[in-house]
Amino acid sequence: MSSTLHYHPDAARKLISDDAWNGLESALLKARQEVFDDVQLLDSGSPVPAEKQPLDSGFIELPARLLAEYNENPAGSLIGRIEEVADKLRKDIDRLVLLGIGGSYMGARALFESLRDPYHNELTRDERVGIPRIYFEGNNLDSDSVSSLLQLLRHRCHDPRDVLHRWGICVISKSGGTLETAVAFRVFRDALELFYGPESDESRYLVVPITGESGKLRELCRTRGYPEQQTFPIPDGVGGRFSVFTAVGLFPAAMLGLNVPALLRGAVDMTERFRTEGYGNNPVLDYTAVCHLLERDHGMNMRVLATWGKRLESLGLWYDQLLAESLGKSERGATPLTVVNTRDLHSRGQQHQEGARDKVITNVIAGAPIAPPVPLPIAPAELDQDDLNRYHGRNYADFLSAALQGTNQAYAEVNRPTADIVVPRLDEYAMGQLLQMFMLATVLEGRLIGINPYGQPGVEAYKKNMATILGADV
């Protein structure tokens, strides 16, 4: 496909000796084999050794399995069911409140911001071709934010019979026990039932839960009578931050009118490249090697993901969680940081140029803009005080490209390592590749350095303390 991802580490490789690069190959290929051995172990149902627990490698082959199921039985497959429910709901509501935190919403938000109009929620329903406005909540304990969204719904939604006033909820939580999402669900469920009536059909079928096969949310779904056919599972063997290719990410993608099979094909193709392509020509192996060697040999333990343009900022924030929770263990693990250029060249650029030499900068570059590039207008000579007429014939894409080249050159001149991830066109296939590449690289690096990339035991400490504090205050 024309949007095939390419990884160009040439600038970063200048700081890596040939001996170091070649010397890592054996360990890296061994780690790759362990990644796929983990898949077989999980699939076998055999006991998982203590040092491998938890083992959440199910995400690796999941896209291929979902596509195979869809191709064999489109209507009866999970993708078919997701698309059927999403198509029905899109016609029935104009606003969707998506409740989730961490991996339960960050992948969906990355897809929304990268592949839909930046001002999607400001467009009319016709301009949105029937795709609902989408709001993300349940990801923080911010009373003002929740209050503002509730007020918006009350002020804009008056007639439950008018599609322009109708809204629904998608709640995502594997266990149902995460406080931020659980509290938000109760609050917005109460508002939904007040709007449609507590015993109305709408109060049930306009809620789409995505959850585990057991747990608090699953039990609530049964008690409240939410339709089973539109309660989607989060499978065992897939951790939250690796769940973007489950219903967690696929249902919101379908609600947004995205091409779900193309998204999965991108992930499948990236997995196959990881499995088969050699060192030096393999985006997952090469990205992992560059980051690891610069950290190991040069102390560069800050991973800066520089997205060129605003659309991919949420992809970077999704990756922040992925890297931090997966490898930030045993007093190890690089620190992720997302920047948006050229915006952040005017805030963090100075530090990256002349600050501590602890940063690896990976540029994520989406080739051609989705819309035709905005040209620079010519001004009369007497109004050329900004001296921009000299750029006659240039457009925004030209300016961004020049800024990227100039920044890479400036960093190279002072031996600051950069690498480029390039997708010629930002679409569902490209996003599938990007998301899977980062997940595979994170797991690969964990196996390479002897850290279990699955699970997040450190996150549980604050939750336990918070529950104790709240209990004491009640």
pLDDT digits (tens, 9 = 90+) for 421-447: 999 999 999 999 999 999 999 999 999
Catalytic residue among 346, 382, 413, 464: 346
Could you tell me if 10 and 133 lie in one domain? no
pTM for the model stands at 0.96
Domain boundary among 204, 228, 258: 258
With b for 16 or more beta-carbon neighbours within 10 A and e for fewer, the 70-92 pattern comes to beeeeeebbbebbbebbeebbee
Confidence check: pLDDT of 472 > 80: no
List CB contacts of 32: < 8 A, sequence separation 6 or more: 274, 275, 285, 444
Q: Place 459 in a pLDDT band, splitting at 50, 70 and 90.
A: confident
Could you tell me if 244 and 330 lie in one domain? no
Could you tell me if 20 and 97 lie in one domain? no
Could you tell me if 238 and 339 lie in one domain? no
pLDDT at 1: 45
Number of domains in the chain: 2
Could you tell me if 244 and 283 lie in one domain? no
- For residue 146, give the CATH number of its domain: 3.40.50.10490
| Domain membership flag for residue 474 | no
359 is a catalytic site residue: no
| Domain membership flag for residue 464 | no
Domain span at 326? 6-53+263-458
Could you tell me if 339 and 430 lie in one domain? yes
Tens digit of pLDDT for each residue in 300-351?
999 999 999 999 999 999 999 999 999 999 999 999 999 999 999 999 999 9
| Domain membership flag for residue 203 | yes
* Averaged pLDDT, 170-183: 94
Could you tell me if 205 and 341 lie in one domain? no
- Angstrom CA distances, 470 to 100, 137, 179, 463, 464, stand at 21, 21, 11, 11, 10
List CB contacts of 46: < 8 A, sequence separation 6 or more: none
pLDDT at 474: 40
What is the 3-state secondary structure of the chain? CCCCCEEECHHHHCCCCHHHHHHHHHHHHHHHHHHHHHHHHHHHCCCCCHHHCCCCECCCCHHHHHHHHHHHCCCCCHHHHHHHHHHHHHHHCCEEEEECCHHHCHHHHHHHHHHCCCCHHHCCCCCCCCCCEEEEECCCCCHHHHHHHHHHHHHHCCCCCCHHHCEEEEEECCCCCCHHHHHHHHHHHHHHHHHHCCCCCHHHHCEEEEECCCCHHHHHHHHHCCCHHHCEECCCCECHHHCCCCHHHHHHHHHCCCCHHHHHHHHHHHHHHHHHCCCCCCHHHHHHHHHHHHHHHHCCCEEEEEEECHHHHHHHHHHHHHHHHHHCCCCCCCEEEEEEECHHHHCCHHHHHHCCCCEEEEEEEEEECCCCCCECCCCCHHHCCCCCHHHCCCEHHHHHHHHHHHHHHHHHHCCCCEEEEEEEECCHHHHHHHHHHHHHHHHHHHHHHCCCCCCCHHHHHHHHHHHHHHHHHC
Tens digit of pLDDT for each residue in 376-385?
999 999 999 9
pLDDT at 457: 80
Tens digit of pLDDT for each residue in 265-313?
999 999 999 999 999 999 999 999 999 999 999 999 999 999 999 999 9
| Domain membership flag for residue 1 | no
Tens digit of pLDDT for each residue in 210-246?
999 999 999 999 999 999 999 999 999 999 999 999 9
Tens digit of pLDDT for each residue in 179-214?
999 999 999 999 999 999 999 999 999 999 999 999
174 is a catalytic site residue: no
| Domain membership flag for residue 119 | yes
- Angstrom CA distances, 217 to 54, 202, 348, stand at 22, 19, 42
| Domain membership flag for residue 304 | yes
Confidence check: pLDDT of 411 > 60: yes
Confidence check: pLDDT of 127 > 50: yes
Is 368 or 49 the better-scoring residue by pLDDT? 49
| Domain membership flag for residue 22 | yes
Q: Place 2 in a pLDDT band, splitting at 50, 70 and 90.
A: low
Domain boundary among 204, 232, 258: 258
Please tell me the distance from the alpha carbon of residue 334 to that of residue 256, in angstroms, as a whole number: 34
Catalytic residue among 14, 310, 392, 463: 463
Could you tell me if 181 and 155 lie in one domain? yes
Cα torsion 189, 191, 196, 198: sign: positive
C-beta of residue 289 within 8 angstroms of C-beta of residue 28: yes
pLDDT at 460: 74
| Domain membership flag for residue 322 | yes
Tens digit of pLDDT for each residue in 48-93?
999 999 999 999 999 999 999 999 999 999 999 999 999 999 999 9
Catalytic residue among 325, 352, 428, 445: 325
Could you tell me if 142 and 17 lie in one domain? no
Instruction: Establish whether the linkage from the previous residue to 54 is cis, with ω within 30° of 0.
Output: yes
Could you tell me if 250 and 304 lie in one domain? no
Q: Place 463 in a pLDDT band, splitting at 50, 70 and 90.
A: confident
Tens digit of pLDDT for each residue in 4-59?
999 999 999 999 999 999 999 999 999 999 999 999 999 999 999 999 999 999 99
34 is a catalytic site residue: no
Could you tell me if 308 and 237 lie in one domain? no
Domain boundary among 243, 258, 273: 258
Could you tell me if 148 and 274 lie in one domain? no
